[in-house]
Amino acid sequence: MSQEIESVLAESRAFPPSDSFRAAARLGDGDEYARLHKQSIEDPSAFWGGVAKELPWLRPFDEVLTGPDGAQSRGPGVEWFRGGEINASHVCLDQHLDTERANKTALIWEGEPGDNRTFTYAELHTEVCRFANVLKARGIGKGDRVAIYMPMIPEAAMAMLACARIGAIHSVVFGGFSAASLQDRIADGDCCAVITADGGWRRGSVLPLKPAVDEAIKDQPRVKTVLCVKRTENAVAWDPARDVWLHEALEGVDAECAPEPMQSEDVLFLLYTSGSTGKPKGIVHSTAGYLVGAYLSTKYVFDLQEDDVYWCTADVGWITGHSYIVYGPLANGATMVMYEGAPNAPHEGRFWELCEKHGVTIFYTAPTAIRAFMKWGDEHVERHDLSKLRLLGTVGEPINPSAWMWYRDKVGGGRCPIVDTWWQTETGSIMLTPIPGVSATKPGSATLPFFGVDAVILDEEGREVPDGMGGLLALRRPWPSMLRGIWGDEKRFLETYWSKWPLTYFPGDGARKDAEGNFWILGRVDDVLNVSGHRLSTMEIESALVSHDAVVEAAVVARPDDLTGEAIVAFVIPQGEAGEAEAVAQALKDHVAQEIGKLARPAEIRVTTRLPKTRSGKIMRRLLRAIAAGEEITQDTTTLEDSTILDELRSGPKA
């Protein structure tokens, strides 16, 4: 059977950068970009060797890329920057200390209640060294795994950098995960310590963290230390043999801590990602290659300049927080904003208030957030002065063109390029993206492969599919920040990512490439529908639904159908009251049929007020599939943001 995906949505708008943006951009010259890109593909060792030399090494590397076929190696077993020694916290902090950046603001932090803390590079360096000495004093050292379970406070970034400084491997677990999820991750990583806080502020109340840690480690004798930051005043249970307040441990600690020299391929961190089935995978990242990828992509994708104020709204519990809050921006000496709380606390204009207050110039968020902002209404955006913004970004899911246009017009005032960045926990850094001073952006497209990325659209047999046709996204060449494995499960690593085609990485996403070489992500391959033999992307049907004024958000899945094989079920969140949208269910079916074609016409529209999402905002379609088919949910729901949603969906109205 053909594995091609029929791509049915046409989007032809294109927005080149303005002349003024182009003139001031780091990379604004198309010829220069083409030359660099060509070199990155034709001579990756020269290209990546040059980039890597921009970072401070403790010992220079001997070779750039090595493996079974030397510098031509591909596939899972390659090594980057052999012979080199480097330390991530030294790259992020120490290198700036004997430059003008020593007294530059590294971090502007704001708590949900409105409290502020800022740190210069010199101050952040001191904090991290002291933090690192606290870890050392507890016997934590090179190669040990340390779980970090924190709210979005400066200590979260400091904890990561302190681990990196002493060569301990951090494993950040998102603070919204349950005790059970935390326990699984601590056990799988065999962690010897947990860094946490008493709690954090979320929507006006304290989200406790320490109790979940206590619960998670009650049967984990390997965990000898729980280091706890005092953020709130809530009471916590205390085991004096194991628990340590950070502020007490810091008293009288030395502010000097030499960075541990790490081999290029030494592990910098583990980060768990939930596959569509099975237990979470501990994605393993290296030190040098990861840093090189995070450093270069931050610099060019965000056109980072010395006086920018950069804000990535992700949580440090996600890869976006690792690469584009901590390692990438700090390696570039940037000034960044970090915010503890929810986007709608205490009001729905909070993000725009923060942009105005701190003079944010670069803003990076997720489509799920953008759709929420749209729903909350334009007035929250319009109330604030966003004239300092010059660049916008999105990540995490395909962005539907109507949300893209809203983001461009309402937030960006029509003047800011939008970088739609496609990448994964596994890729470590951005793979498909516009270069903002060069690329014409298109609503819904992640546009072009970044430097060194050899992306193609293949069929199951590994043949390239013609332009315009949907297929499987594939990466043929290794890149420095690629994952090095799944912690403790080499077999699953090889099967998941490297077994579909020889020596080629399979990310699990469907995509198509247009005649100009721009990539359009169609969503996870597991989500593709098959209606009467036509393979359709859920994302495109969702896009058609939200292009109707009555719909704010939509999720499309298939249920078995005797006649057509699969039938389309659409879950929609209406704009305004649910009653109205029920009345327009017929109109919505017609709208999809008109936008895409009769074959994409939903068999059923279900109105809901919420959709099941992961905590990073991705729709969990596998749960919707079970609901649409009327099955019991027996699958893992621990990564679900709000489990009460399932009851609503099961009992919700049909139309």
Number of residues that bind ligand 7RM (CB under 6 A): 20
Which stretch in 34-42, 346-354, 504-512, 598-606 sits in contact with ligand 7RM by CB under 6 A? Answer: 504-512
The region of 190-198, 210-218, 375-383, 501-509 touching ligand 7RM under the rule CB under 6 A is: 501-509
Q: What does the block give as tokens for 298?
A: 């931050």
Per-residue contact flags (x/-) with ligand 7RM for residues 460 to 499, judged by CB under 6 A? ----------------------------------------
Interface with ligand 7RM in residues 511-530 (CB under 6 A)? 521, 524
Which CB sits closer to ligand 7RM, 214 or 420?
420
Handedness of CA 6, 453, 281, 227 (dihedral sign): negative
Q: How far is the CB of 426 from ligand 7RM (least distance, A)?
A: 7
Peptide bond between residue 466 and the one before it cis (omega within 30 degrees of 0): no
Kindly write down the DSSP assignment for every residue of 26-87, as one continuous string: SS--HHHHHHHHHHHHH-HHHHHHHHHTTSPPSB--S-SEESTTGGG--STT-EESTT-EE-
Which listed residue (17, 328, 507, 602) binds ligand 7RM by CB under 6 A?
507
Measured from the CB atom, the residue of 130 and 535 that comes closer to ligand 7RM is 535
Query: Which residue shows structure tokens 């070779």?
Result: 63
Nearer to ligand 7RM, 166 or 366 (CB): 366
CB 240 within 8 A of CB 208: no
332 versus 425: smaller Cβ distance to ligand 7RM: 425
Q: Which stretch binds ligand 7RM (CB under 6 A): 293-301, 402-410, 423-431, 458-466?
A: 423-431
121 vs 324, which CB is nearer to ligand 7RM?
324
Q: String of b and e for 441-470 (b: at least 16 CB within 10 Å)?
A: bbbbbbbbbbbbbbbbbbbeeeeebeeebb
How distant, in Å, are the alpha carbons of 183, 417, 456 from that of 17? Answer: 47, 6, 26
Closest approach of Cβ 395 to ligand 7RM, in Å? 5
Question: Strand, coil or helix: what is 246?
Answer: helix
Interacting residues with ligand 7RM between 185 and 224 (CB under 6 A): none
Q: Is 422 in the site for ligand 7RM (CB under 6 A)?
A: yes
Q: Which is nearer to ligand 7RM, 167 or 280 (CB)?
A: 280
- The string of DSSP codes covering 358-375 is HT--EEEE-HHHHHHHHH
Question: Which positions from 383 to 402 touch ligand 7RM by CB under 6 A, shown as an x/- string?
Answer: ------------xxxx----
Q: Are 611 and 642 in contact (CB under 8 A)?
A: no
Q: Pick the closer one to ligand 7RM by CB: 398 or 485.
A: 398
Residue 561, beta-bridge partner list: 565
d(Cα 311, Cα 323) in Å, to the nearest integer? 13
- Look-up: residue for tokens 């001031």? 24
Binding mask 601-640 vs ligand 7RM (x if CB under 6 A, - otherwise)?
---------------x------------------------
Nearest distance in Å: CB 312, ligand 7RM: 11
Write the CB contacts of 188 (distance below 8 Å, at least 6 apart in sequence). 272, 279, 280, 282, 487, 488
Contact of 26 with 487, CB cutoff 8 Å = no
Helices (H) and strands (E) in the chain, counts: 22, 30
Which CB, 168 or 521, lies closer to ligand 7RM?
A: 521
Q: Which of 273, 365, 368, 441 binds ligand 7RM (CB under 6 A)?
A: 273
Smallest distance from ligand 7RM to CB 247, Å: 33
The CA-atom distances, in angstroms, between 9 and each of 336, 368, 471, 510, 542 are 37, 20, 15, 14, 11
The rounded distance, in Å, linking the Cα atoms of 313 and 310 is 10
Closer to ligand 7RM at the Cβ: 243 or 426? 426
In this complex, which beta carbon is closest to ligand 7RM, that of residue 512 or of residue 524? 524
Contact set with ligand 7RM (CB under 6 A): 273, 319-320, 395-398, 420-425, 446, 507-509, 521, 524, 616
